[in-house]
């Protein structure tokens, strides 16, 4: 079992890593075509919220998968 401090550090690092990956991946989409004139600030906020949501989903999946795979040792031990 991982100590609480190490687990917290792992979660922070994974969440930040997936934020960077999600930001990088979202750069491939041209949102400029869908933005109404004069609504740039709202579009930026939406973009940031979409990146955070995507990163949160991906990092939660990764962390749960990691937890479940480490818990498999208890099945056989």
Alpha-helix runs per DSSP H in the chain: 4-26, 40-71, 73-76
Q: How many domains does the chain have?
A: 1
In terms of residues, how long is the chain?
A: 77
Please state, in angstroms and rounded to a whole number, the distance separating the CA atoms of residues 8 and 14.
Answer: 10
The overall average pLDDT reported for the chain is 93
Predicted local confidence at residue 32, as pLDDT: 82
Say what the pLDDT of residue 6 is.
93
Task: Pick the range with the lowest mean pLDDT from 2-6, 41-45, 47-51, 60-64.
Answer: 2-6
Structure confidence at residue 76 (pLDDT): 82
Q: 14-18, 32-36, 48-52: lowest mean pLDDT where? A: 32-36
Average confidence (pLDDT) over 19-36: 92
Task: Identify the domain containing residue 9 by its residue range.
Answer: 4-76
């Amino acid at each position: 079992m991982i100590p609480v401090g190490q687990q917290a550090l792992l979660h922070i690092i994974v969440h930040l890593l997936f934020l960077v990956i999600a930001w990088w991946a979202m750069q491939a989409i041209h949102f400029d075509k869908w933005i109404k004139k004069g609504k740039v600030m709202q579009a930026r906020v939406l973009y940031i919220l979409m990146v955070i949501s995507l990163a949160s989903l991906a990092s939660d999946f990764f962390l749960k998968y990691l937890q479940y795979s480490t818990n498999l040792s208890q099945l056989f031990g």
